[in-house]
Structure 1
């Protein structure tokens, strides 16, 4: 399990967040919300091992993350960055297949079956014969989603911990594909016991699809808990500096609907 205790995160030696304590539980989707510059991407990059913590402890499966090799980490967690880039003229299927690099033991038939599944889950199967660079931004994002799903769902020992870290995965997607992506993430979290952390800007998408929410503001955790406990007018005002009304969702009263202004 990925566990942070009193984590201090920053870039170039300058702290952005401090006192962050959380754990990514199997079978759960944790949504991260906050205003621009709140430190959401810095937190994800630290949890992914891409940035060293400035203080606190960060462990993966009981061992300090810092002493684990990139290969060890890649077999346990998959990361979708905010702006994935690709400098090579690769086909869509080849890009999705890079998610299997940490698993050389996969046989060609198993890899083919896995790619067929993940490209379908990402709704990217229709353009598998095209070059990645010819796709629109939203289509490229769907291919990158297929890549991290390939990494997260690659064959491994039963019960092995797997984490999926997604940085604004819905940003370039149309509403249908935003819902499809988050529905897929939530379903896989339940069925495959994935531990998911997803950074979102849409508060209502987070309220609908996430099991727990982490609100960041003023360089610290403003709230952490269920959507019902976290999405209050007071918390939202502290995070976004704007008034918010929170009401039961008209289609699901157990969920919340947030209106700003």
Structure 2
């Protein structure tokens, strides 16, 4: 399991994260919320091993994350950044197959099967014959999501803990594909026992599709727990500086109001 205790992180002289305690459980989707500049992307980068913490402990399977070699870490986690740039006009299937790079032992048939599955999960099968640079921004995002899925699904050691990190994965998607992506993420977390860390801005989609929520403000934890526990009017106004009305049926629903 991936865990942090007292995690701090600086960018230059500015403390971006301060005292974060977190366990990322297999089979669960953790949604991370907060206003711009709250530290969400920095936290993802630290947990994914792309940025070193300034203080506290970050461990994967009880071993300090900094001791993991990049090649070994790439076999345990996949990352979908906010914007994945690609300057080469590759085919869509070639881009998605990049997710298999950490697994040279895969046969061509296994790689093809993973690519086909990822295309289906990303609702991108119809894009398979296209060139990547000819796609719209939303289509490219779905292809990059499929690439991350290939990487995280390629690790098939029995009982092995695997992580999927998604940074604002629905920001450029239309409403249908926002729902399809989040539905696929939650289903995979159950079926494949994946630990999922997803940064979102839409609090209502987070409430619907995430098992737990982490609410950040100025690099600190405001609340951490179930959507019902986290999405309260008090927490919403504290973090977003807007009055909010929260109703609860199956899941909380938040309506922000101008003061």
User: What TM-score does the superposition give when structure 2 sets the normalisation length?
Assistant: 0.97
Aligned match of 1:111: 111
1:61-107 residue CA offsets vs partner (Å, 9 max, x unmatched) = 12111011111111111000011111211110010000011111111
Measure how far apart 1:40 and its partner are.
0.6
Measure how far apart 1:177 and its partner are.
0.2
1:125-162 residue CA offsets vs partner (Å, 9 max, x unmatched) = 10111111110000000000000000011142111000
- Which blocks of at least 5 consecutive residues in structure 2 are unaligned? none
Runs of at least 4 residues off by over 4 Å: none
For 1:155 and 1:257, locate their aligned partners in 2 and report how far apart those are by CA, in whole Å. 36
> Structure 2 vs 1, CA of residues 31 and 54 (structure 1 numbering), >3 Å: closer, same or farther?
same
Aligned match of 2:200: 200
- Which blocks of at least 5 consecutive residues in structure 1 are unaligned? none
Measure how far apart 1:124 and its partner are.
1.1
Aligned-partner SS, 1:178: helix
| Contact 1:106-1:155 within 8 A present in 2 as well | no
Deviates more, 1:11-20 or 1:231-240: 11-20
Aligned match of 1:246: 246
Measure how far apart 1:246 and its partner are.
0.4
| Contact 1:29-1:211 within 8 A present in 2 as well | yes
| Contact 1:11-1:42 within 8 A present in 2 as well | no
Instruction: Summarize the alignment of residues 48-67 of structure 1 with structure 2, pairs less than 5 Å apart.
Output: 48-67=48-67
Measure how far apart 1:218 and its partner are.
2.6
| Contact 1:10-1:42 within 8 A present in 2 as well | no
| Contact 2:37-2:218 within 8 A present in 1 as well | no
For 1:218 and 1:50, locate their aligned partners in 2 and report how far apart those are by CA, in whole Å. 21
CA RMSD between the two structures: 0.9
Aligned-partner SS, 1:41: helix
Aligned match of 1:154: 154
- How many equivalent residue pairs? 257
Aligned-partner SS, 1:56: strand
Aligned match of 1:143: 143
1:30-87 residue CA offsets vs partner (Å, 9 max, x unmatched) = 0000001111101101111111101001011121110111111111110000111112
User: What TM-score does the superposition give when structure 1 sets the normalisation length?
Assistant: 0.97
For 2:169 and 2:12, locate their aligned partners in 1 and report how far apart those are by CA, in whole Å. 26
Aligned match of 2:37: 37
